[in-house]
Amino acid sequence: MMLPHIEYLLPETLEEACRLLAEAGDGGVVMAGGTDLLVKMKAGGVVPRLVVALGRVPGLDRIAFSEQGDVSIGATTRLADVAGNERIAYELPAVAEAAADTATPQIRNMGTVVGNLCNAAPSADNAPCLLALEGSVSIQGPSSLRELPLAEFFKGPGLTALSCGEIVTRVVVPKVGRASGLSYRSLSARGRVDIAAAGAAALVELADGVCCKVRVVLGGVAPVPLPVPEAAQVLEGTEPAADRIVAAAARAAAACTPISDVRASAEYRRHVVEVLTRRALAQALERAQANAGRAS
C-alpha cells in the first residue's frame, strides 16, 4: 500500500500548528504517532492535502501531576510512556494497564494515548478508564483554548467534537479518592495485534464500607465509548455484594448496542461485555478495599 502525495509539515509551536490546520481547512489533519492515521491514508479512507505532525512542538510529551494530584497526559505522550510511568501505575494502575494492553510494543512506542482518543474508535482501549475517571481534554484552537469533558468529546465512530484547526494538547484526570479502585477488562479475538471486540472499565469508591461512587464505561459495543449510569446505580449507596455486581453487569449488557463485524457478532459482544463488566467491577472493588485499608 502506497501513501498518496501529501505535504508534511513539522511546526515548532502549537500556534503555528493550529494556524496551518485552520488554513488547510478540510484538507489538513493532525498526526501524533501516525499509527491510525497512516493506515487510513494508505487504505484511502483519509486523503489529506496536508499532514501537520506534532513531534516538534515542545512540552506536549509530558506526564504531569498537579499539586492537587490531577494527572495530565500530553498529546505526544506515547502509550509506552503511560504504560511504564511508575506514579500512574501506583495511583491509577488500570490507566497504565489499558495503555499496556493497547496493540503491540512497536505500536505503543509510536502511538499516543491522546491519538487513541482523537481517533474515536468505539473500541479505543484508553477511553473507558479515562471516561470513568471523568477526564477532560484541553483543546487549542487558532484563537482560543477550551476544556471539554471527555463525556462530550466522542460523537460517533471516528467523530469527535473537534472543529477545524483544533488540536487536543492533553487529557487530564482529576485525583481520585483514596479509597477508590479502577479496573479495565477487554477481550480481543487475536490478542494484542487486533483491537478489542469489547471492553469494560469500572471505578468504585468506598466510604465507610459503602459504595459512594461507581462508574461503568463500556468499549466496542456502541457507536462511542459508553458510560452506563444505570449499571453504576445498582451499586451506589449500597454495601458491595456479589449479587449486585451481577445485576449491574446485566444492566450494562442491556444498555449496549453492539454491531456484528469481522471481530465478533453482536450477540457475542453483548455476552462478553457482561462478563467483562462483572470482572472489572469485582477488581475495582478489590482495589478500592485494599486502598481503603491503606488509607485508614
Ligand X SMILES: Cc1cc2nc3c(=O)[nH]c(=O)nc-3n(C[C@H](O)[C@H](O)[C@H](O)COP(=O)(O)OP(=O)(O)OC[C@H]3O[C@@H](n4cnc5c(N)ncnc54)[C@H](O)[C@@H]3O)c2cc1C
**Could you tell me if 260 and 288 are in contact, meaning their C-beta atoms sit under 8 angstroms apart?**
no
Cell reading at 162: 473537534
CB atoms under 10 Å from CB of 274, counted, come to 22
- Position 119 contacts ligand X (CB under 6 A): yes
- Position 124 contacts ligand X (CB under 6 A): yes
Q: Name the segment binding ligand X (CB under 6 A); options: 28-36, 141-149, 237-245, 271-279.
A: 28-36
Give the CA distances from residue 201 to residues 38, 139, 147, 181, 222, in Å, rounded to whole numbers and listed in that order. 29, 25, 23, 11, 14
- Please give the Cα distance from 97 to 242 (Å, whole number): 24
Binder among 18, 30, 203, 206 for ligand X (CB under 6 A) = 30
Write the burial class of residue 110 (CB in 10 Å: 0-12 exposed, 13-18 middle, 19+ buried): middle
- Please give the Cα distance from 125 to 119 (Å, whole number): 11
Give me the residues paired with residue 30 across strands: 52
Query: Taking the chain, what is the end-to-end CA distance rounded to the nearest angstrom?
Result: 58
Q: Which is nearer to ligand X, 163 or 257 (CB)?
A: 163
Q: Name the segment binding ligand X (CB under 6 A); options: 3-11, 32-40, 202-210, 272-280.
A: 32-40
Cell reading at 11: 511546526
Binder among 97, 125, 205, 274 for ligand X (CB under 6 A) = 125
- Position 136 contacts ligand X (CB under 6 A): no
CB of residue 171 to ligand X, shortest distance in Å: 9
Q: Mask 244-273, x = binds ligand X (CB under 6 A)?
A: ------------------------------
The enclosing H or E element of 130 equals: helix 127-132
Q: Which is nearer to ligand X, 93 or 111 (CB)?
A: 111
- Position 138 contacts ligand X (CB under 6 A): no
Q: Which is nearer to ligand X, 30 or 182 (CB)?
A: 30
Q: Mask 183-202, x = binds ligand X (CB under 6 A)?
A: ---------xx-x-------
Binding residues for ligand X, rule: CB under 6 A, are: 29-37, 39, 75, 79, 102-103, 107, 110-112, 114-116, 118-119, 124-125, 162, 167-168, 192-193, 195
